[in-house]
Copies of this chain bind each other. A is one copy, B any other.
Amino acid sequence: MLIGGPSSTGGVNRGPFLPDVAVVGAGPVGLAIAWRCAQRGLRVVVHDPTPGSGASHVAAGMLSPVAEAYFGEHELTGLLAESAARWPAFAAELAEAAGTDVGYRTDGTLVVGLTADDLAEARRLWAYQQGLGLPITPLRPSALRDREPALAPRVRGGAVAPGDHQVDPRRLVAALRVAAERAGVALRPAPVARLSDVDARVTVVAAGCGAAALTGLPVRPVKGQVLRLRAPGRGAPGFRHVIRGYADGESIYLVPRYSGEVVVGATVEERADTEVTAGAVLRLLRAAVDLVPELAEYDLVEASAGLRPGTPDNAPIIGPLPGRPGVLAATGHHRHGIVLTPVTADLVTELIVTGEPDPLLAPFTPARFVPEEERKWN
């Protein structure tokens, strides 16, 4: 057990009330780790002045191990698939624990191309994904339209990834807060400026972009701008699949919720501000309306921007921090924080409880970004 004996036998200087685990950051990853640790009988504190205000607040909540399987990211693809496989049970257990629905929805994802060029671009990726044995199936145009009549007649073609699902990230955070608190987790609203200010046997840095300042890890903000539309009359949207599309070279997604909300995203910008720009809104709306014309009649209810925690290899950073005994990282989830929440929480909790990292974590160790000479304490 990484943290030693039960906390009630803690060191003389720290007294019996030292938490077993302090989590810095109350996004989905941090809250899920806290919840899982509390389920294992650990005493857990979560530090965050504004829970759920990071990347998850803007995220669409696509659970897309297939459509997000990109060239050269083989190990990440494996982790996405592993976590997506855990989502049904995770969603059910969380809904039960929190007494609230998290919007988990299994209608599947369509990947479509507007023009011939867009379709060619999409096909290159399907071929790669099919080569990995992932479940994605090209559809004839008539079959595509049978599935989603709301697609524009111009849309040239597409494929279906039936296992790529969705969840509502804002509901997810709300449910995780309830579940964690019911399991005994304490939420502390003060910001954490330095890890030395945190008093616990194990500290988990799940602070998204904030992890860089706390740990020195190479986590950088990657700005994303996102719109939220609402179907007129507060009915459900006129389509049920998540639609990922290429439209005149623009890559966008449309995520329909039962509530009538449609999330349209997202830009990927190497910037650290959170301003919403006219050009980004124009590009997102143009592509959205080109793919699904009825969206022009929808209300535009929110335009927002968030910062994803990006890493040099686009993969998350999960595991012990070299040279910092008792400190774990669970950050750098970039565009995959929602889908990776269950597996991250499970593996970090196991690591804390057993002291042994799961082999699944090996490619994602913080050590890959720490020079040898700085690892002496590890």
A interface with B by C-beta (< 8 Å): 227, 229, 232, 275-279, 281-282, 285-286, 288-289, 295-301, 303
Contact = CB atoms under 8 A, between A and B. Distances in A.
Q: Quick one: which of A232, A285, A289, A298 has the most chain B CB within 10 A?
A: A285
A296 B276 contact: no
Nearest to A225: B300
Contact of A279 (B276, B282, B297, B303): B297
Contacts of A229: 278
10 contacts: A276-B300, A277-B298, A277-B300, A279-B289, A279-B296, A279-B297, A282-B282, A282-B285, A282-B296, A300-B303
A278 B282 contact: no
Contacts of A285: 278, 281-282, 285
Nearest to A227: B278
Contacts of A303: 300, 303
A286 B286 contact: yes
A275 B276 CA distance: 19
Nearest to A296: B279
A281 B282 CA distance: 8
Contacts of A295: 278-279
A156 to B, nearest CB: 22
Across chains A and B, which 8 residue pairs bring their CB atoms closest together, nearest first?
A279-B296, A282-B285, A275-B299, A278-B300, A276-B300, A278-B298, A281-B300, A229-B278
